[in-house]
Amino acid sequence: MRKNLQSVFIAAICCLIQVSASFAQNNSPYPPQYGKPFNGVPDRRDVTLYQVNTRSFSKEGNFAGVTARLDSIKALGVNVIYLMPIYPVGVLKGANSPYATRDYDSVGKEFGTLEDLRTLVDGAHKRKISVMLDIVANHTSWDHPWMANKDYYVKDSLGNIKYPETWKDVAQLNFKNDAVRQSLIHSMKSWVYKANIDGFRCDYADGPPLDFWKQVIDSLKTIKTHKLLMLAEGSSPKYLSVGFDYFFGFNYFGNLKSIYNRNKSVRSIDALNERDFKDAEEGQAVVRYLTNHDVNGSDGTPLELFGGKSGSMAAFVVVAYMKGIPMVYNGQEIGTPFRLTFPFTGRRIDWALGDANREVTAEYKKVIAFRNKSNAIRRGELASYSSDDVCAFTKSLGKEQVLVLSNLRNKEVDFTLPATIAGKQWKNAFDGTKVSLNGALKMQPYQYLVLTK
C-alpha cells in the first residue's frame, strides 16, 4: 500500500512538473495555443453573423450536430457564428438555463468535450468562418465554485447573496472585487488559446459596470496573435466608446415590430440610425435582427411578427442592407414555423423543412450574397428617402450605387421617387435586367427592389 501511495505521489509530481514546464515554455499563465490563430477573421464592416443555439440546433443538441451542418451555414453566406454558452449549467436553484454558468473554464458535458469544440472551430476556420463564444459575465449559478468566497458576490444587508433583476436561478457577481474581474478576464483569454476562438458576444452587458468592459477589451488586445470581434449585448452606443465592435439592436427590433404591428412610420428607422451611429468609429455598428434566442420564444418567429415569408424577407432586406450588421438565428433561414422555447431542450429545428421551404432559403442566400458582393452596401454612404410605408435608401461608394426600396406594409403602396433617383437607368441587382424608374412607383404588398447603377 505504501509503495502504491509513493508511486501515485511521484506520478502526480511528474504531472505537475510537465504542466509547469508547458506553461513556462509558453511564458504565460494561460494554456498553450491550440492550433494556428485564424487569419481569416473578417473586417468588422463585412460581417454577417449567425447565432447557434446548440441545444436546439440538432437532434443531438451538441457540438457535433453543429459541425455536421457547417457546409450549410457556409452556403448561406455567413462568415461569423457565435455559439450560445458552452459551459456546464448550474443545478442548484436552477432552471436549466445555459446562462447559469457553473464553470467558466470547462465545456458542458451535454455539448461534448473540449476536443469536440476544437473540431467545430477547426471546421469553421477551414470554411473561412470565424467563431465567437458567449460569455455570461454578470452572474453565475448558485453552485459555482466561487460560492466558497461570498465576497465574489453582491450581498444584502444581512449578508445573503443577491440575484440580479428577477433571475432567481443565478447569483450577482461583485465587480467591486478585483479578483472577480481578473478571474473572468483570465477565463476569456484562456478560451482564445485553448480553443482558438475569434471573439466574444458578451451577455447582458448592461449588468457589469462599463469600466469592467473596458478592462476586458484592453486586456484582450494584448493578445497580438489574434484578431478578436467583440459584441456587447446591450442597447446603448456607450459600448462603442470602450472598444466594442458592436452592440445589440434591441431598440431596432422593437421599432420594427411597431412598424409591422402598430402601423408606426417607417421613417422612424432614420432616427434610430442617427442615434445609434452618432459617435461610432469606422466599422463600429449595431447588430440587427428579426429574431434571436430570447425573442423567438417570448415574442414569436419572424413569420409571426413580420408578415409571413414575404413580409419577413422585406424586413430582412432592410436589416441586411440599410445600416448595421445583420444576424440570422439558426432555423430562420428555412422558415421555421414554430418557436424554439426556453430552456431549448424540447422541440429542435427540423432541418428537413428546408426541402419544403427551399424558396425561403434561396432568398436568404440571394440577399446575403449580394451584401457580401457589394462594397457600397457594406461600407457605403447612406441616403434615406423613406416614406411612412416604404423603406427607401441608397448606399454609395465610389462608382457603385445601390437603391433599395422595400414596402413594409401588407398592402399596395404608391411611392413617389425623389428627383435624384427618378428618370435614371438602373439594373436589378439579382438578375441584371434593366429597370427604368419614373416619378412614381406602385409597390405590391411586401415587395422589395434592389437596384444598382
Reading the block at residue 207, the C-alpha cell is 449588468
pLDDT digits (tens, 9 = 90+) for 175-207: 999 999 999 999 999 999 999 999 999 999 999
Residues 282 and 407 in one domain: no
For residue 299, the tally of other CB atoms under 10 A from its CB is 15
pLDDT digits (tens, 9 = 90+) for 248-305: 999 999 999 999 999 999 999 999 999 999 999 999 999 999 999 999 999 999 999 9
- Give the Cα separation of 365 and 368 in Å (integer): 5
Predicted local confidence at residue 299, as pLDDT: 97
Predicted local confidence at residue 27, as pLDDT: 65
Residues 204 and 228 in one domain: yes
Query: What CATH number should be reported for the domain holding residue 421?
Result: 2.60.40.1180
Residues 156 and 42 in one domain: yes
Task: Flag whether 10 is in a domain.
Answer: no
Predicted local confidence at residue 355, as pLDDT: 87
Residues 397 and 373 in one domain: no
pLDDT digits (tens, 9 = 90+) for 101-142: 999 999 999 999 999 999 999 999 999 999 999 999 999 999
- Give the Cα separation of 424 and 297 in Å (integer): 45
Closest CA to 324 of 289, 275, 270, 287: 287
pLDDT at 15 over 90: no
- Give the Cα separation of 314 and 225 in Å (integer): 40
Query: What CATH number should be reported for the domain holding residue 233?
Result: 3.20.20.80
Helix axes 250-261, 268-277, angle to 10 degrees: 180
Predicted local confidence at residue 354, as pLDDT: 83
Find the domain containing 260 and state its range: 26-379
- Among the three residues 328, 357, 379, which one is the final residue of a domain in this structure? 379
Amino acid at 232: A
Task: Flag whether 5 is in a domain.
Answer: no
Residues 87 and 153 in one domain: yes
Residues 223 and 324 in one domain: yes
Task: Flag whether 385 is in a domain.
Answer: no
Residues 95 and 60 in one domain: yes
- Give the Cα separation of 139 and 30 in Å (integer): 23
Residues 6+ apart with CB under 8 A from 298: none
Task: Flag whether 19 is in a domain.
Answer: no
122 CB-side CA count, 13 A: 11
Residues 311 and 414 in one domain: no
For residue 359, the tally of other CB atoms under 10 A from its CB is 11
Residues 265 and 398 in one domain: no
Check if the beta carbon of residue 405 is closer than 8 Å to that of residue 390: yes
For the chain, the average pLDDT equals 93
Handedness of CA 361, 267, 422, 403 (dihedral sign): negative
- Give the Cα separation of 276 and 324 in Å (integer): 10
What is the number of structural domains in the chain? Answer: 2
Task: Flag whether 309 is in a domain.
Answer: yes
- Give the Cα separation of 72 and 92 in Å (integer): 38
| Mean pLDDT of the region 355-364 | 94
Residues 267 and 319 in one domain: yes
pLDDT at 21 over 90: no
